[in-house]
Amino acid sequence: MKCSAMRLSVLFTMCLLIAGQLNAQSIEDEAVEWLQEYIRVDTVNPPGNEYRAVEFFARIFEAEGIPYETAESAPGRGNIWARLEGGDEPALMLLQHTDVVPADLNYWTTDPLSGELRDGYILGRGARDMKGTGISHLAAFLSLHRAGLPLNRDVVFVASADEEAGGEFGVGWLIENRPEIFAGVGLLLNEGGSGGRTGDDIVFGVEVTQKVPVWLRLTAVDVPGHGSSPRTTSSVTRIVDALAILRANPFPPRIIPPVDAYFKGLAVGRNDDWGTAFANMSLAVQDPEFMRNLHEDNPGRHALTRDTCSMTRMEASNKINVVPPEAWAELDCRILPDRPSEEFVANLQSLIADTGVEVEVIMAFTPAISETTSRLFQAIERVTRELHPGSRVLPSVSTGFTDSHFTRDQGIVSYGFDPIITPNGEATGVHGNDERINVDAFRRGISDMRAIVRDVVYN
């Protein structure tokens, strides 16, 4: 019996290898074409029109003979999902959002929806955020279907709407109205982490938690009048005073455990001043000069050390010589996930109380952190170590938010991770100009993603 079991195990492994070798080159070639086509699907949000992405995926699933379901949360706001059935282990979900942010044509060197292949890069809005990762999920999902081998768990593919605007018409709506999609799901891959290369050193960051978005509107009301006769206060001066107070009083730094672990990981192998500081961030953040230097050198890492607010929108009078009765400003605040948003808002209100400005919460999520002891995290560590000897995997904290906050609230262990490797400092254009993805890195990321998924779903 023992010899028979060993022969079966070897045979199964050989089948996996043969299936992978036969499928790999084909699916990587397909993935490049899929991504170019996917970028050309206009899902700019607003307004979204994610039904177009649903049609894109539906055509592929129909050609592959994979059953799928769709639902619109509102006219045009489409969502699509499919499930490969397997064993009784907690299901693995591959989650992506199909909407993308707008692009300013005046600052792009190509049509943002072109999917142009130029100088070894695919260009277009969504190439990185997150249509590239979405196609990586698709390739992994289809490779499992094509192999036809027994799975130890269900694998669920979900492409949802509206993440870029908060997910109300996407994952948030699906959890509320189609809860069966998430039934039995215990592990999830989403956006939020990837690989970075500095010289020969490769570090993979896996997002396990994220700063909590708290979007606020500040509103001031005062006596209106003619611009030629300014009063001692106005709605506009009240808003300006409130913003000036916030700018002059940044929130104090604090290092929470996931952030501390991330920086300690970055310190490994570094013999410079940054390495010394990263090894003991609780001490380093007490030095104002270090904080200034960190902010200048790497705003993203600096944002992990404190709560932040970006001033993003303002409105007052619609005529230059009219002092308006009302003025407002909006803040994109992101807080570390170690306290409730209500506490943060109360502190901010207290800080600007003397200005007479009212604070309204537009949106606030709940904090949650995913453990790093799961089968999926172990697979990421094992596969990246084998495929990229000497590389390291670090749990990380995202300064931005993703739909993972919805799924973590459901008790699903959720990670932001795409194994694509990017040289540190290389411009990717995420939410900016000429968003791009390196074709060779994308193809390698497809292969690595498939290997990670296979590690999880095959015994």
Tens digits of residue pLDDT in 412-449: 999 999 999 999 889 999 999 999 999 999 999 999 99
Domains delineated in the chain? 2-192+402-457 (3.40.630.10), 211-364 (3.30.70.360)
Please give the mean pLDDT across all residues of the chain.
94
Q: Among all chains, which residue has been given the structure tokens 């809005």?
A: 125
Question: Which pLDDT band, with edges at 50, 70 and 90, does 5 fall under?
Answer: very low
Q: Among all chains, which residue has been given the structure tokens 């009083």?
A: 249
Q: 165 phi and psi, to 5 degrees?
A: -115, 10
pLDDT value at residue 459: 84
pLDDT value at residue 128: 98
Q: Using DSSP, how many helices (H) and how many strands (E) does the chain show?
A: 14, 19
Q: 190 phi and psi, to 5 degrees?
A: -140, -170
pLDDT in tens, 113-139: 999 999 999 999 999 999 999 999 999
pLDDT value at residue 1: 41
Structure tokens at 377: 């995290």
Helix (H, G, I), strand (E, B) or coil at 93: strand
Is the pLDDT at 298 greater than 70? The verdict is yes
pLDDT value at residue 9: 42
Helix (H, G, I), strand (E, B) or coil at 105: helix
Structure tokens at 154: 């269900």
pLDDT value at residue 6: 39
Q: 307 phi and psi, to 5 degrees?
A: -70, 145
Phi-psi region of 455 (alpha: psi -120 to 50; beta: other; left: phi over 0): alpha
| Mean pLDDT calculated for residue range 165-180 | 97
pLDDT in tens, 54-113: 999 999 999 999 999 999 999 999 999 999 999 999 999 999 999 999 999 999 999 999
Distances (CA, A) of 430 to 127, 321, 387, 426: 8, 39, 27, 11
- Nearest alpha-carbon partner for 130 in 428, 330, 425, 344: 428
| Mean pLDDT calculated for residue range 219-226 | 98
Q: Among all chains, which residue has been given the structure tokens 């039934």?
A: 183
Is the bond preceding residue 299 a cis peptide, omega within 30 degrees?
no
Residue 152 gets which letter from DSSP? S
b/e map 92-104, b = 16+ CB within 10 Å: bbbbbbbbbbebe
Is the pLDDT at 7 greater than 50? The verdict is no
CB 158 within 8 A of CB 95: yes
Q: What is the model's pTM?
A: 0.88
- How far is 330 from 187, CA to CA, in rounded Å? 35
| Mean pLDDT calculated for residue range 169-184 | 98
- How far is 430 from 123, CA to CA, in rounded Å? 11
pLDDT in tens, 348-405: 999 999 999 999 999 999 999 999 999 999 999 999 999 999 999 999 999 999 999 9
Structure tokens at 417: 């991770």
Q: 313 phi and psi, to 5 degrees?
A: -140, 145
Query: Helix crossing, 131-147 with 2-40: angle to 10°?
Result: 140
pLDDT value at residue 301: 96
CB 229 within 8 A of CB 316: no
- How many Cβ atoms are within 10 Å of 422's Cβ, its own excluded? 17
- How far is 160 from 97, CA to CA, in rounded Å? 5
Structure tokens at 356: 């007479």
